[in-house]
Structure formats: structure tokens, C-alpha cells
Structure 1
Amino acid sequence: MENKLPILDKKFVGNLIPQKFPFVMVDKLLSFSENEVTAGLTVSEENIFFNDEKFQESGLIEHMAQSVALFTGYQFYLKNEPAPTGYIGSIKSIEILQLPKNNEEIETTVNVLQEFMGVTLVDIVTKLNDKEIARGQMKTVLAN
């Protein structure tokens, strides 16, 4: 596949992260640069984190973390290397202002603040219709 963005092929995007169905919380790679990625997800009532007519907080946090994984996965794809598995090392802060509903499309932008020896510190902002609905900061750690 070309390195042309955005990438809207769910299967291709899913192959860039270590998580597999039904635990995939990103389905679009909208933009990518050296220190930033924007990922998307169309919320579905089929999603394991969908309950009570909404995408739950835990799903939103997982979507944010998988957006970080997508950044790393796409970096490795561009180098023609397999993506490593990573973990949430810590969550410094998460603020959730609104929960998306069925068929709504969320976009999450990850801004890499620091990357050192497999540890990545990021700021994350999630939007729905250009309105911020969540933000946070977390560290992710690559497995050896």
C-alpha cells in the first residue's frame, strides 16, 4: 500500500497495532508526522466498550492509547519492520467531557512530547465534530 494519508482501510490500520478484534479501537489513520499522529474511530454499538447508548470512558481511554500505538506502528511500517507491542506505562491525567454515541466519528491527535529508550510521553486530545471531548497525558512503554 502507498504511504498516502489518510488511510481509511480498517484492516490495514488494524494491522499497524498489536491489538486484534474485538479489541481494536482505531480504524483510520488521518495524519502522521515526526511528532504527531491523528487517528479516528467510528463508534459502533457492536464495540465491546459500547454500553448504555454511549462509548464508555474505558473505551475512550483505550482508543487514546491505541492512537499512540498507531503512531509507533506506522513508524515501524515505514521502516518495513514489524511493530512492537507496547503498554500504558502511566496515565498522568485524563479528562473526559463527553461520551460519543453510535455512529459518531471521533478523532484523536497524539502529540509526542518525549521519546527515549522505548518510553513515549504524549499529550492526547480527542474531538467529536471539532469539539474537544477528552484530553490526557500518558506514557507508553515498548515491550522488549
Structure 2
Amino acid sequence: MPSFDDIFDAIAGAARMMGYVCAPSLLQKVVAACAKQNLMPDLSSYRRNRDALYNGLASFGYECMPPDGAFYLFLKAPGGDGDAFSEAAKAEDILIVSGRSFGCPGYVRIAYCVAYETILNALPGFGRLYQRFCK
């Protein structure tokens, strides 16, 4: 019989595939039509947010890879528990998701498709979390 964690992971994965993470088919068709017309999106805000988040986290000592094409990054959870770290982040008004439901236990997923100011305002909280978990 499958464990609770196995069932939870399967249900969480199915929920993501049903539209919470994956782009709806209509949106995919719109993007394809735009690509045919050589309409290129302005990705500069994503780059700016990615660079600010990645560089800020790296400056504290966090372990993460710079993303290349995503709107989120995976951060190695200090202490190895993504669930505990994402829960602790709430006290800093930071909403991140445990990587466990994305098949990456021990990591957290941080989206940077937010306002630039949101990234900048979150960095001091990430600094305090680093001090709490890593020192």
C-alpha cells in the first residue's frame, strides 16, 4: 500500500498538471500565434528580478543555481527540510513553496514573477532566515 507521502505527492502533481502550474491550452495557442508574427516578449523584468533574487540569496550564502528560462529558482533549503524552511519563511512575510511537491525534496521553489520591489523587500527576510538556519 502506498504511503501517505506517496499519495500526497501524486495528488499534488496531478493538481499542478490540471492548470495550477501548466499554461492552459488556449494561452499556449495565443503564444504560438504571437511567435508566428515575430512578436517577442519583453523579458527584461524577469531578468532583473532573477538577477536581484539570485545575487541577493548568493550574497547571504544560500546554495542555488541561477535559472535560465524559468520564472522561479530552486534554493537548497538550509537544514535540508524544504517544508520547515518554507513554513519559517511565512514569519518573514515570504511565501515560498517546498520543493517536495515538485519532486525536489530538500529544496524550496521561489517564484520571481512578482514586482521588483517585492524581491527587494524580501531579501532582508531571507538574510534573517539564513542567520537563523545556518549560523
Query: Shorter-chain TM-score: what band?
Result: under 0.3
Larger % of helix: which? 2
Give the TM-score normalised by the residue count of structure 2: 0.25
Provide TM-score, normalisation by structure 1.
Answer: 0.24
